[in-house]
Amino acid sequence: MSLSELPDLPSPLVTIHILGRLVQVPEGLTLMKAMEYAGFRLVHGVGCRGGFCGSCGILYRMADDYKLRPALACQTTVAEGMYLARMPFVPTNRAHHDLTQVNLATTTTLLASRYPELARCVACNTCTKACPQELQVMDYVQFALRDDWAEVTRESFDCIQCGLCALRCPADIAQFQVAQLARRAHALHNVAPSPQLAARVASIKAGEHRPELERLLDMDVDGLRALHAAREIEEAS
């Protein structure tokens, strides 16, 4: 098994606490790699290791600082004096919803009716400060209260659903769940289907593409090789 994750080079060490134990790890490691370096074999709180899946939310505190800081373990670098605590995930409520059963044209309380705790928001901005994607979470909660799906979509699009906002929210709102519902409602109600796409789907259903495609399917490899080499490349617009 190759250990391509870590370079085998001497490096200055930093001293940190991982779940209560004092360890020294090379500087420059991510929090996730630091835990592995120290002997942890990760099963939960680890996923894509690239900042996309939201699995590795972690809490830490710096020495002599009262502030509890949330972060993604795979996207944050260790620093001298950190105290780390891992979490498996944030259990949140996802309201049951079947958008096909909702009249999206008339509803004005879709989000607040599914997530009434939205009304408990005290605008403390803790969610925004917790967001590792630096989204304006509190702003989209305000848009959610007004059932403005388009604005929630705009503000929440880059959400990786790590749950750190919900973990820190004093009103127990699961912001990322609300945003997921808002984005789908926005897509279904405010975004018109692509006319080109509908036309192409219909043409395939009618079999109009078949003669051209089947001509290629029946051709020998040399013929296809020649066609492939002679393709005209569409100019980028």
At residue 88, φ and ψ (nearest 5 deg) are: -70, -50
| Least CB distance to another protein at residue 55 (A) | 6
By the rule CB under 8 A, 81 interacts with another protein: no
| Least CB distance to another protein at residue 6 (A) | 7
Could you say which residues in the range 35-54 bind another protein, by CB under 8 A?
36-44, 46-53
Span of 14-22, 57-65, 120-128, 219-227 interacting with another protein by CB under 8 A: 219-227
By the rule CB under 8 A, 123 interacts with another protein: no
| Least CB distance to another protein at residue 185 (A) | 7
The set of residues, in sequence order, having a beta carbon less than 8 Å from that of 95 and lying 6+ positions away, is: 114, 115, 177, 181
Q: Which of 33, 141, 166, 175 binds another protein (CB under 8 A)?
A: 33
CA 86, 90, 57 angle in degrees (round to 5)? 40
Cα of 159 vs its chain's centroid, Å: 5
Query: Helices H, strands E: what count in the chain?
Result: 10, 5
By the rule CB under 8 A, 105 interacts with another protein: no
What's the token pair of residue 231? 């393709």
What's the token pair of residue 192? 């018109």
Of the pair 64, 233, the CB lying nearest another protein is at 233
The set of residues, in sequence order, having a beta carbon less than 8 Å from that of 47 and lying 6+ positions away, is: 53, 54, 55, 56, 74
Q: Which x/- pattern, by CB under 8 A, does the window 51-70 give for another protein?
A: xxx-x---------------
| Least CB distance to another protein at residue 149 (A) | 10
| Least CB distance to another protein at residue 50 (A) | 5
Tell me, what amino acid is at 4? S
Of the pair 64, 221, the CB lying nearest another protein is at 221
Block residue for tokens 């975004």? 191
DSSP state of 77: B
Could you say which residues in the range 153-172 bind another protein, by CB under 8 A?
153, 157-158, 160-161
